[in-house]
Amino acid sequence: MMMKISQLKAGLRICEHKNNGDVQHFEVVKVQPAGRRIEVTFRSGNSMESALYPADAYLYAS
């Protein structure tokens, strides 16, 4: 399902579909406002990374 970044919650899983057909899965760890954007922290395997998104951007979440 497509979700607005502003609606994401910790524990949701994000799927990134690559051009070669692979699918990479991420778990949302933390979502917090960062000015006019939203910072989302993801976990994939043993690593964690953060990204900044406009609040009205969309991601595929399950």
> In the Cβ-directed half-sphere of 59, how many Cα atoms lie within 13 Å?
24
For 21, 34, 42, the CA distances from 24, given in Å and listed in that order, are 10, 26, 12
| Per-residue pLDDT at 40 exceeds 80 | yes
Sign of the four-CA dihedral 44, 46, 51, 55:
positive
- pLDDT tier, 62 (very low <50, low <70, confident <90, very high otherwise): low
- pLDDT tier, 48 (very low <50, low <70, confident <90, very high otherwise): very high
